[in-house]
Amino acid sequence: MVFSSITFLFYFLPVVLAIYYIVPNKFKNIVLLIASFAFYFYGEPKYIWLMIFSIIATYIFGRLIDKYRKTKKAKLFLLLDIFVSVGLLIYFKYANFIINNINLWINNKIDFIYVALPIGISFYTFQMLSYIIDVYREEAKGQKNILKLAMYISLFPQLIAGPIVRYTAIADQLENRNHTIEKFALGVRRFIIGLSKKVLIANVLGELVNIFLASNEMSVLYYWLYAISAMLQIYFDFSGYSDMAIGLGKMFGFDFLENFNYPYISKSITEFWRRWHMSLSGWFRDYVYIPLGGNRTSKIKWIRNILVVWLLTGLWHGADWNFMIWGLYFGILLIIEKLFIGKYLEKIPKIFSHIYVLILVMISFIIFNGENISQILENIGGLVGAGNIPLVSQEGLYYLKSFGVTIIIGCISATPLSKKIVTSDKIKKATNIIEPIFLIGIFLICTSYIIDGSFNPFLYFRF
């Protein structure tokens, strides 16, 4: 079940909200837990047992760490929990990738494991790991109520595709949280904005991406349309989902941290990753980079730490070589910036540093979307006319006319420009009156697109 579906918008969510606000406060967590399990069961019925097993294991190990705190047994239970959680993730997500690469080197072929990837396993595994590590570090108290821990891990607004919510960020909210009309209204507003990003921009540009990948008539113009569209699609798809998750959280009284902060206005790749998927980059910083030594070590070890983190970041996104290359690509860029060009990026005119970031990020998403090395190189080369392709083609011009307006809207919406206009003092009063009507109109338009359209996946569901 995706947030941008009729089933969720007009059946699941209204029923859950109605029951949630009818029942007394002491039963609200139970309602959310049941709703979260039902949400996951609808999308992945055969793997709900996997999530339940992981929750029980994490709860038991957390209690044992609490009991034997500051002893060797506590560290043993931490390692056992990490082994179970990461082991399940490796088995379901990476086993066939490992087998395939082993088979390239041996004569006796190993049979593939025929298992489907459980949706959201990367997200809820990282949440469980953050909980158990924080308990071991004494940064969080072990949760004594298994139902509250289960609700934290399975909470449906952020279960499938994040943001990755730290236990320490919402531990108090599991016990007590505020429910106000103002907060609920903010949640509805944020949800509709996210829905419009997903349905009206990401879905539309996703159609162009698919058309390009199935096309044989290429030109430089067409390659650029593909690259820009793919870049905007993944941003609005994922940031739209994060907006909807944050909005849903507010409807149920939770305050989730932001996950995106206009990353395409960055002036360096370092800044880009402070603004893009902030919950993931923060997770790797706190649980991998810093424990490895961070930047408080020798230059060689620091470079090693950067490459390890970004190799793992790439692998987290998918079990394929293009994701590993994508991760290492960013790791190398960050090293180059920190060692050589970072100080120059701060001095040059902003327009050039912005272009620098946009070009490199655009290339990164060509790598991200590539099925193999040859396709990646072909799509990058096409941007500069490699292969003697024409500058313009009839097909490229046709799709420029068909999707040009959406691309322009996407480019503007990826900056804070519209937000600054809406929140300016001169028109703030007018927007307070117009906004509810505007949001209702946007919601109705999104609904009509959902009913009429067939392209409606969430890209990050596969992670």
Active site residues: 317
CA 383/CA 85 separation, integer angstroms: 42
Cβ distance 373 to 284 under 8 Å? no
At 260, give phi and psi (nearest 5°): -140, 145
CB atoms within 10 A of CB 72: 8
Q: How would you classify residue 166: left for phi > 0, otherwise alpha for psi between -120 and 50, otherwise beta?
A: beta
Amino acid identity, position 291: P
Distance CA 279, CA 361 (A): 19
Unique residue bearing structure tokens 């043993």: 76
212 close to 366: Cβ distance less than 8 angstroms: no
User: Left (φ > 0), alpha (ψ -120 to 50) or beta: where does 266 sit?
Assistant: beta
- DSSP state letters, 264-283: GG-SSHHHHHHHSSHHHHHH
Whether residue 50 contacts residue 118, with contact meaning beta carbons closer than 8 Å, is answered with yes
Closest CA to 203 of 377, 37, 452, 419: 452
C-alpha distances out from residue 320 to 59, 349, 400, 458, Å: 32, 38, 32, 19
